Amino acid sequence: MQLGSDILDFPFRSTMLTNRARTTTRAAVVGFHHPKMDGGGEGLEDAMLHDFAGMTLTLRARRVPCGFEWWDAFKMLYVLPRGNIQWVLGAKKNWIGGATQEWVSPRVLKYAHDDPLLAFGEMPPDADRACMILTVAQAWHVDEKKKEHALKGDGEEVPEGWKTVHQYAGIVVVPAEREGAWKRIGSFIFDDIIVGGKIITPFDGEGVVDEDLVLV
């Protein structure tokens, strides 16, 4: 079982931070509230460093429903955007040969669950109501000499031989006890490279729009 905060979560953040200049989409913080703000703000600055009880954060971001799947080969828990495995698989197939003699698509959408005690085969609490929130997306081109280029705009032609790197990341949430609010249970990152230009992500679907999401 992977440990979200100890093994995968830090690489998720550092990967996206390294390529922050290539960001195409970013969730916006539109508000927050801390209980100490109700008492005139005394001690608020110190409390913000360590006391998060009762604090809420409001993000303006895109959200889609998701499911989960355990992969027996590595005992890894995967998140499935819109409940569909297609969003987990990469564009390039790898030849595994052997007795199977087949090509397989790598799983390029990685998930880190926050609770390291979740046993293999078990589903997270409220898994049937879980959603993914997109917090950042990045994209850029790489030419034959491995040189990076800014992403071409709509209508601009991508030179032949160029590939496009796509990354996006965010958090997985379930409904909180507070009505209309969400609580985090994990984080995810997608990283793939394709020939040509843009890809369609699960956050690009019809009806998916930015909404204000309260996190507790």
Range of 101's domain?
4-84+95-208+210-215
Q: What's the pTM value of the predicted model, to 2 decimals?
A: 0.86
pLDDT tens, position by position, 67-126: 999 998 888 999 999 999 999 999 888 777 666 677 778 899 999 999 999 999 999 999
Whether the Cβ atoms of residue 167 and residue 19 lie closer than 8 Å to each other: yes
- Let me know if residue 99 belongs to a domain: yes
Please state whether beta strands 56-71 and 76-81 pair in parallel, antiparallel, or not at all (unpaired).
Answer: antiparallel
- Let me know if residue 8 belongs to a domain: yes
Maximum Cα–Cα distance for the chain, whole Å?
70
- Let me know if residue 89 belongs to a domain: no
- Let me know if residue 118 belongs to a domain: yes
39: left (phi over 0), alpha (psi -120 to 50) or beta: alpha
Indicate the number of domains in the chain.
1
Which pLDDT score, from 0 to 100, does residue 142 have? Answer: 94
- Let me know if residue 90 belongs to a domain: no
Which pLDDT score, from 0 to 100, does residue 195 have? Answer: 85
Which pLDDT score, from 0 to 100, does residue 10 have? Answer: 55
